[in-house]
A and B are shown apart, each in its own frame.
Chain A
Amino acid sequence: MNGPQTLILLVLALLGVFAEAVVDFPRVWLRTQFDVLPPLMVYASLTGGVGTLVLLATVGGICADALSGNPMGVSVLPLFWVGLALHWRRELILRDLPYAQFVLGGMAAAAVPVLTLVVLLTLGENSLLGWGTLWQLLVVTIGGAALTPLCFSVMETLKRAFAYQPSTTTPFPANREIKRGRY
Chain B
Amino acid sequence: MAFVVVLALVLVILNLPQAVATKAKLAVGSLFLPLFGLATLTRDLGQQAGKHLPPPSALIAELDRTRRENRELRVLVAQGDEALRENDRLRQLLGWKPQLPWATKPARIIARDTANWWRTARIDRGTRDDLRPNLPVVSADGLVGKIGEVGLTTAEVVFVGDPKCRVAVVVRETSEHGVLSSSSVGVLDHRLMDLTHLPRHTALKPGQRVFTSGLGGVFPAGLPVGTIVDYRSVGYGLYTEARVKLSADTSRLNEVLVLFP
Contact = CB atoms under 8 A, between A and B. Distances in A.
Interface of A: 14-15, 17-18, 20-22, 24, 27-28, 31-33, 35, 50-51, 53-54, 57-58, 62-74, 76-77, 80, 84, 113, 116-117, 120, 123, 126-133, 135-136, 140
Given A21-B114, A31-B187, A132-B185, 13 more contacts: A33-B112, A66-B25, A67-B32, A69-B113, A72-B14, A77-B10, A80-B3, A116-B115, A128-B161, A128-B187, A129-B184, A132-B189, A136-B116
B76 interface: no
A58 B9 contact: yes
Contacts of B182: 128
B21 A72 contact: yes
Interface of B is mostly: mixed
Contacts of A126: 163-164
B14 A136 contact: no
Nearest to A113: B116
B13 A129 contact: no
B251 interface: yes
Interface in B2-31: 2-3, 5-7, 9-10, 13-14, 16, 21, 24-26, 28-29, 31
A105 to B, nearest CB: 17
A18 B14 CA distance: 23
Interface of B: 2-3, 5-7, 9-10, 13-14, 16, 21, 24-26, 28-29, 31-32, 35-36, 39, 110-120, 122, 148, 156, 158, 161-164, 182-190, 251-252
Given A66-B25, A127-B117, A128-B119, A71 B112 contact: no
A130 B115 contact: no
Contacts of A116: 115
A50 B2 contact: yes
Nearest to B190: A31
A128 B188 contact: no
Contacts of A113: 116
Given A128-B162, A129-B187, A64 B21 contact: no
Contact of B31 (A24, A63, A74): A63
B252 to A, nearest CB: 7
